[in-house]
Chain A
Amino acid sequence: MHVIAIFGILLLIFMRIVGLIISIEFLRDLKESKFKILIIGWFIWILAGCSALLSGVYENQLFSDIFLLINGITTSIAGLFVMMGLFSYFQKLPGKILVILSILFISVPVIAFLLGSYNIASNLSSMFLFLIIVIFSIVPLKRKETFKNSISIKSYYWYIIVLLAFYSLTISYVIFIFQGYSFGFYSDDFSIPMFVNYFLGNASTLALIIYSIHLEYDISKIQKFKLSDKYSHDLGNLIQVISSAAILTNVDKGLKEEKVENLDLIQNKCEEAAKLIKDIRKIM
């Protein structure tokens, strides 16, 4: 395995570890279950990088092929989980889809491998991965307005950058495969396609991490807004009840002066509280 391939894979593993740590932090902070899907995705993606490295360690062709097969399968499943995790910000998806596709992504390449064709097995995994990237990128763009309204404009721009990076990677990969280069570019000889592949792979992973950080910020902002909105609404209703009850009690002409003073005090404080709530709403 060429030093560029080793360095490229190590850098990918490092960035995936960063992605995993960020997702774990998000889950701890925001308690959103969608981060669990992302965590699994990043973890499988790290395994994919490790299996790619291990394939270069073994001299035995069968072992090397098995690790490359694992690399292909784990990469496609990791892509599925990460894409679904990011997609779930926009729209909730049934867990069944994840299970069915995972089984498909594992079983089909394994069957192809057992039938004796490593090349078909690895190409199937790559095809699954590209299919997932295309599907999960086209759907939000087809419902552009809803998608744009559910995230901030910065996140939207980073989403476009992620798409461009992944599409460049996919298109270049397909071109290189047709030129006769092998899956993963793990050869011992340096080639421009090898450099392009690892450069785009790392760039798209970095863009994905930045995009997910922006999404986390959006979720955190929405959560805070919803909470403030609920509190200000409920508090507004409570003060309405206290203030109205005080006014209506004050209507009774037979009340002692001391009680009237107390009711006036309640009304004044309700007015102050109402002003505070309106000020809070202005800065929300």
Chain B
Amino acid sequence: MATIFLIEDDSSIMKLFETFLTLLGHEIVAKAYNGEEAVKLFHEFRNVPDLILMDHRMPKKDGLTAAKEILNFNNNSKIIFLSADYTIKDKALTLGAKYFLEKPFKLDKLSQIIEKVSMEN
């Protein structure tokens, strides 16, 4: 089971994802409600989480910028974008994100992607 860092500005979505991922047996090690908070928290981690689930359209700092800064700090971070901003898909993947899942999606799809990305070296 994976340790996960959740970044999402919509509190309802955050709560639902957290419930679902916990039910699957994953551990939510941290949560951030905007890109700026996400980067700050990531710098403070002693152990880097296995996966980062990242939204894009967020206040203060967007997901792409936050992902770029996180990857600059730790190139091995596995970031999965969960966003309704389908236009940033190519940018996110070029940046180094492992997957881009377009909202809205079925939760089953999320669990499959998490499993797939977690198994990648």
Contact = CB atoms under 8 A, between A and B. Distances in A.
Interface of A: 229, 232-234, 236-237, 239-241, 243-245, 247-248, 251, 267, 270-271, 273-274, 277-278, 281
Nearest to B108: A247
Nearest to A271: B106
B10 interface: yes
A247 B104 CA distance: 13
Given A237-B103, A241-B16, 20 more contacts: A234-B84, A236-B104, A237-B10, A237-B13, A240-B13, A240-B84, A241-B12, A243-B106, A243-B107, A244-B13, A244-B17, A244-B20, A247-B20, A248-B16, A248-B19, A248-B23, A251-B23, A271-B106, A273-B104, A277-B104
* Listed residue (B12, B103, B107) with the most chain A CB atoms within 10 angstroms of its CB: B103
A27 B53 CA distance: 43
A239 B104 contact: yes
Nearest to B9: A237
B37 interface: no
8 contacts: A232-B84, A233-B84, A240-B13, A244-B17, A248-B20, A271-B106, A273-B104, A274-B104
Contact of A244 (B16, B84, B85): B16
Interface residues of B, number: 19
Nearest to A239: B104
Nearest to A247: B107
B61 interface: no
Contacts of A236: 84, 102-104
A95 B87 CA distance: 35
A275 to B, nearest CB: 10
B86 interface: yes
A241 B87 CA distance: 21
B57 interface: yes
B50 to A, nearest CB: 22
A245 B104 contact: no
A233 B9 CA distance: 13
